[in-house]
Amino acid sequence: MRLIFSIFLISLASVLFAQEVEFPFWLEGTWEIQSELGVSYEQWERSGDSLLIGKTYRLFTKDTLVFDTMKIKTDNGVILFEMTANVKNTRVIAGFSLSQPTPELWKFENPITDSTHTIYYWRISADRVYVWTETMDLDDACMDFEMYRQNE
């Protein structure tokens, strides 16, 4: 039991004191998301040294319908993911702090929200990212999708 506890503490310390991961500017650009309902997009634009501004949207003929707006930013040395969305016709903002970052996997958590609780961005390649969410409420659906970089 002591060995398991020691391994756990060493693992925890290595995560907490690991070398700092670079800001995820690799998300910058427009990403295509294909689903049974059609094609939508996630777009990220750089604004300064430590801010990405994003949105998810779908094109309908000449109209653009924006689903969510997002930010990835640094606040007092902590990297945060903020999302604004409509929930039952009410605009809500949720903040998620970065935990367990690696150059390829970014995990954002909010321990006080039931739905969505965790958001993951896994960089599979320079032009392909897998995104998924987790929720605490078993009645809420989690999302997962692949995004492919669009040539601009």
**Per residue in 108-124, pLDDT tens?**
998 887 678 889 999 99
Full-model pTM: 0.78
Q: Does residue 16 surpass a pLDDT of 50? A: no
Mean pLDDT, residues 86-105: 80
Q: Where are the beta strands (DSSP E) in the chain?
A: 29-35, 38-46, 51-60, 63-75, 78-87, 90-99, 105-109, 118-125, 128-134, 144-149
| 102 or 4, greater pLDDT | 102
CA distance 5 to 28: 40
Q: How far is CA 134 from the centre of its chain?
A: 11
Assess contact for 111 and 118: CB atoms under 8 A: no
